[in-house]
């Protein structure tokens, strides 16, 4: 990708570097081809988690916290989504597929690794929290989006970053602190 960028590749082409148009789902939801559609997918996932959790009386938003300092915000909203999606979706999910595993095995395997990366098993057993299942759902959702988008890394990075921004904003709102924008 960097070699192509250095070769004056236009941004519109860069945003679709790894996307395989033959594998893009026929569903109109995935046909836009824009990574910014990830914003819509992030909010859809947030609602799909928030509504049932609220109805069941489950706490799904992590502990309250003020808006992070700029370095931490950059990590949460840019670096983590990019690096995690590059590893868990572009590398790991693709490795499952190239090894001949069925698509469902790739979904489950990459989502499980994603969840365990975020919530160590010892912490989950000790606390009995819902963090592990929530990260598993998010990992499944992002892997599903990656597969249905034909392997569009920018699409899932934007989806992941938007979801992180929403959760960070909700955590901040619970504290009653002022957002930096």
Tens of pLDDT, residues 33-44? 676 788 888 888
Residue 128's pLDDT is 62
Per-residue pLDDT at 4 exceeds 90: no
Mean predicted lDDT score pLDDT of the chain: 79
CB 149 within 8 A of CB 155: yes
Averaged pLDDT for residues 62-75: 85
Give bridge partners of residue 149 from the DSSP assignment: 24
Place of tokens 């160590």: 120
Tens of pLDDT, residues 11-21? 555 445 455 66
Phi, psi of 150 (to 5 degrees): 80, 20
Residue 43's pLDDT is 86
67 or 30, higher pLDDT: 67
Q: How many residues would you count in the chain?
A: 181
Distance separating alpha carbons of residues 132 and 94, to the nearest angstrom: 23
Residue 31's pLDDT is 65
- Whole-prediction pTM value? 0.80
């Amino acid at each position: 990708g960097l070699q192509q960028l250095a070769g004056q590749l236009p941004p519109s082409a860069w945003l679709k570097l790894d996307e395989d148009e033959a594998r893009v789902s026929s569903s109109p939801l995935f046909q836009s081809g824009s990574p910014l559609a990830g914003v819509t997918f992030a909010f859809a996932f947030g609602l799909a988690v928030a509504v049932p959790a609220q109805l069941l009386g489950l706490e799904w938003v992590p502990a309250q916290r003020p808006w992070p300092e700029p370095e931490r915000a950059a990590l949460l909203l840019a670096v983590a989504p990019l690096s995690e999606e590059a590893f868990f979706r572009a590398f790991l999910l693709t490795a499952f597929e190239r090894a001949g595993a069925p698509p469902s095995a790739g979904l489950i395997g990459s989502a499980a690794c994603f969840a365990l990366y975020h919530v160590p098993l010892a912490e989950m057993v000790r606390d009995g929290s819902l963090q592990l299942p929530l990260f598993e759902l998010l990992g499944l959702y992002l892997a599903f989006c990656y597969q249905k988008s034909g392997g569009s890394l920018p699409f899932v990075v934007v989806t992941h970053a938007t979801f992180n921004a929403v959760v960070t904003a909700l955590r901040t709102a619970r504290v009653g602190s002022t957002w930096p924008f």
